[in-house]
Chain A
Amino acid sequence: MHPAFSVIAFTTLSGAGYGLLLWAGGLILLPALQGRAPANGATVLLWGVLLVLGLVLTTAGLLSSMLHLGKPGRAWRAFSQWRTSWLSREGVFAVATALVVVAMLALLGVGIAGALPTGLWIAMPALAAIMVLLSLCTIASTAMIYASLKPIPAWRHPLVLPGYFVFAILTGWLVLMALVNWSALSDETLGVILLVTFALAIVAGVLKLVYWHRIDRQPLGATRADAVGLPGREVDVFERPNTQANYINKEMGHVLARKHARPLRFIALVLFAAVPMVASWLAWANPELAGPVFTLGALLALAGTLVERWLFFAQARHLVTLYY
């Protein structure tokens, strides 16, 4: 499939954004679940920063996805078909998530100004729970846009949906780390961060390795003979219908990635899995370096996720290529 940069940037950025919102939701919910009092001023400020950044990343992603539309001005129509279309559902969930985040930010603003009655702090964890749910639904809808397309077997693979979740959680975590590590954290906390980063990076790496292994061995599921209705015969192209490339050739017949798959996969794996592990180890060994190291690590991991997404598109073969 043709890898449109705007779509790749969209899934990467919004994935990181929703991942960050998931972690922010967790941070807000955790003290509430433990029955602790509403947090102090510094924590509240952190909540605000995380929510704003999550909102910015997800909105940037959505805007970038609108760039590849032929008629961006009519994009509002895309909210209407949620009954059948995952793309439509994604839009609805994305807007709902954004509204909840805005409500939480408003509440925080009033709270910081000191105008919020203590009782209303209860609303924060409740909203956070809704936001977590909506973020999960948005990530799932994004994945299902691809995972529901029968003509593209590499996207139908059962690891596609978990893959989108794992990458959202991993990149969201790294953005969170890039923020919180600028303040001095205790050795104990850095140890926990090291463990979580390793666990997430290893899960993401193994998942992608298994996925790549499987799609390399997964045949298209049909032959050219099936495509022309003569199953069992040996059919070769004699003459194409068009001398110049047409839309179908350009959009579905992308071959570059399959040629360079190995080095690109290696680069992606190093950037999104190895780099975060090294970064968290460096931060743990030299706590004074934690801020810059995690910031660089998060940026490189996002670049790695971009490469991974590019491969996800560029390597997927569409059944219509059988005709050409």
Chain B
Amino acid sequence: MTDLPPPSKKKLGLVIDLDTCVGCHACAVSCKEWNAGGFAAPLTDEQPYGKDPAGVWFNRVHSYEVAPTQGCASSPTPQPAMTLHFPRSCLHCETPACVTVCPTGASYKRAEDGIVLVDEDKCIGCKLCSWACPYGAREYSEVEGVMKKCTLCIDRIYNENLAEAERQPACVQACPTRARHFGDLGDPESKVSRLVAERGGVDLLPQLGYQPVNKYLPPRPRRTGEAATAAPQDETLDTAALPPMLRWLDRVLSR
């Protein structure tokens, strides 16, 4: 049934640090690599080597330019311009409409840990769930005719054939700057929950009421002051202020 289960105690999810993410796409690539052979496999492409390659990805990294601000809702202090790298994948929402709109029961939210999955043997490819997701987390496979989405690497995190340390989502493991963290966001004492509390982690588009489990950590406030003022434009050199040796060199070279 696509009825949502009662809220689970355990809420597995990701915490993504927008301060340290450098937009290298390693998470997106490793996600594609792992999931091409796992639970949601195959992760199909159309004309992968052709002119207009397209395909299913569970995780996509956007880059934005953020204009300077004199202070606003999300940054009380003046902030300089910056680049923002923003990985976007399924947020494993608490009340996801992608599940309740599904006519077949293919989409479901697991009662035990809150992971949102698609049963590809039941999906009829009506695409309604992708319309119901505001975050663009579901992608349809033209090749297979069914819907695909991030599985939170369910075939890694519970995989007893992997070493304990590797029971982490592929994207989390691949991130070179440790911008992605995986854990139980339902437990206020977990590492991820403490990180969210410490850094003021936010929900994306909370007004829609999907109650995302994944949290995003906004970039730390940048230093303002001298760093924000422009560098001196013209180069002037006061030779009288130089030590004798350099003054001599300057005289020789200026000849």
Contact = CB atoms under 8 A, between A and B. Distances in A.
Nearest to A240: B62
Enumerate the 9 nearest inter-chain pairs by beta-carbon distance, A residue then B residue, closest first: A70-B125, A70-B145, A232-B72, A232-B73, A241-B60, A320-B136, A234-B67, A151-B134, A88-B103
B218 A247 contact: no
Interface in B87-107: 88, 97, 99-106
Contact of A323 (B54, B88, B100, B126): B88
A251 B132 CA distance: 12
A251 B140 contact: yes
A59 interface: no
A247 B139 contact: yes
Interface stretch (B151-159, B180-188, B201-209): B201-209
A83 B100 CA distance: 9
B43 to A, nearest CB: 12
A49 interface: no
Q: Interface centre among B74, B83, B102, B134, by most A CB within 10 Å?
A: B134
B64 A87 contact: no
The B interface, classified by DSSP as helix, strand, loop or mixed, is loop
A258 interface: no
A300 B97 CA distance: 37
B248 to A, nearest CB: 49
A145 interface: yes
A232 B74 contact: yes
Contacts of B99: 84
B103 to A, nearest CB: 4
Nearest to A80: B105
A228 B204 contact: yes
A318 interface: yes
Given A81-B102, A149-B132, A320-B134, A238 B124 contact: no
A87 B56 contact: no
Given A232-B73, A238-B63, A227 B1 contact: no
Given A229-B218, A230-B218, A238-B65, A78 B103 contact: yes
Interface in B19-76: 23, 25, 28, 52-57, 60-67, 69, 72-75
A251 B127 contact: yes
A76 to B, nearest CB: 9
A70 B207 CA distance: 32
Q: Interface centre among A78, A79, A87, A151, by most B CB within 10 Å?
A: A151
Contacts of A71: 123-125, 145-146
B122 A77 contact: yes
Interface in A133-162: 145, 148-152
A256 interface: no
Nearest to B106: A77
Interface string A1-36: 100000000000000000000000000000000000
B3 interface: yes
A214 interface: no
Nearest to A145: B128
Given A148-B97, A149-B101, 6 more contacts: A71-B146, A88-B103, A150-B134, A231-B72, A231-B74, A247-B130
B52 A234 contact: no
Contact of A78 (B52, B54, B126, B218): B126
A157 B56 CA distance: 32
Contacts, number: 208
A116 interface: no
Interface in A78-122: 78-81, 83-88, 91
A320 B133 contact: yes
B144 A241 contact: no
B26 to A, nearest CB: 13
B84 interface: yes
Interface of B: 1-3, 18, 23, 25, 28, 52-57, 60-67, 69, 72-75, 79, 83-84, 86, 88, 97, 99-106, 122-128, 130-136, 139-142, 144-147, 202-205, 207-210, 216, 218
Contact of B84 (A86, A230, A232, A246): A230
A252 B101 contact: no
Interface string A238-250: 1111101111100
A243 to B, nearest CB: 9
A155 to B, nearest CB: 9
A87 B210 CA distance: 20
A84 to B, nearest CB: 4
Given A84-B3, A241-B60, A244-B53, A150 B208 contact: yes
Contact of A69 (B73, B100, B126): B126
Q: Interface centre among A70, A229, A232, A251, by most B CB within 10 Å?
A: A229
Contacts of B104: 74, 77-78, 80-81, 88
Contacts of B135: 320
Contacts of A233: 66-67, 69, 72, 74-75, 79
Contacts of B132: 149-151
Contact of A84 (B2, B53, B133, B142): B2
B42 to A, nearest CB: 15
A222 B208 CA distance: 10
